[in-house]
């Protein structure tokens, strides 16, 4: 004897309901992050350690509103006398074909120094490009490479 169609519909509804309940019960699995970062600190997308100290600087890439993009450079701090700004010197060599020799070149870049990072003259630092912070400053210090 063929079964009535209404009973078949009831079974499919209960199966659908069971599947919905099962989906709600199982939490979605998320990929574990590589570095543990608290909710108050942003992951800036670079392989640099997050400073242990928290700051309230709005121009800090870790705790403020500024984001980094573009060039990531390394250099040495030459001057740290300005308030919240350091001068970073990059050195390099350029081959001059006419004289078959290398030319020594260096450039000085102004970079914003967040209050959560502590650097002094002579430290090796990593700076990252950001939006214009002031008239001459378009980089921000993201790591002090001299420390541990």
**pLDDT (tens place) for every residue of the chain, 148 residues total:** 555 555 554 556 677 777 666 666 555 544 444 444 445 677 777 888 888 888 888 888 888 888 889 999 999 999 999 999 999 999 999 999 999 999 999 999 999 999 888 899 999 999 999 999 999 999 999 999 886 5
90: domain CATH number is 2.40.50.1000
Instruction: Give a yes or no: residue 117 inside a domain.
Output: yes
Per-position DSSP letters for 78-117, written without gaps between them:
EE--STTEEEEEEEEEEEETTTTEEEEEEEEEEEE--TT-
What residue numbers bound the domain in which 74 lies?
37-148
pLDDT of residue 33: 45
Establish how many alpha carbons lie within 13 A of residue 114's alpha carbon, considering only the half-sphere containing its beta carbon: 30
Whether residue 87 contacts residue 105, with contact meaning beta carbons closer than 8 Å, is answered with: no
Please tell me the total count of domains within the chain.
1
Instruction: Give a yes or no: residue 102 inside a domain.
Output: yes
d(Cα 35, Cα 38) in Å, to the nearest integer? Answer: 10
- At 19, list the tokens: 């599947």
């Amino acid at each position: 004897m063929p079964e009535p169609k209404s009973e078949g519909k009831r079974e499919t509804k209960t199966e659908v309901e069971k599947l919905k309940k099962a989906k709600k019960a199982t939490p979605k699995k998320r990929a574990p992050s590589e570095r543990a970062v608290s909710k108050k600190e942003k992951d800036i997308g670079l392989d640099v350690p997050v400073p242990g100290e928290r700051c309230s600087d709005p121009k800090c890439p870790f705790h403020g509103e500024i984001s980094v993009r573009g060039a990531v450079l390394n250099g040495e701090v030459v001057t740290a006398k300005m308030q919240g700004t350091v001068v970073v010197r990059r050195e390099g060599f350029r081959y001059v074909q006419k004289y078959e020799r290398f030319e020594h070149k260096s450039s000085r870049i102004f970079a914003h120094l967040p209050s959560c990072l502590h650097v002094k003259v002579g430290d090796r630092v990593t700076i990252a490009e950001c939006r214009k912070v002031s008239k001459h400053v378009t980089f921000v210090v993201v790591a002090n490479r001299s420390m541990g």
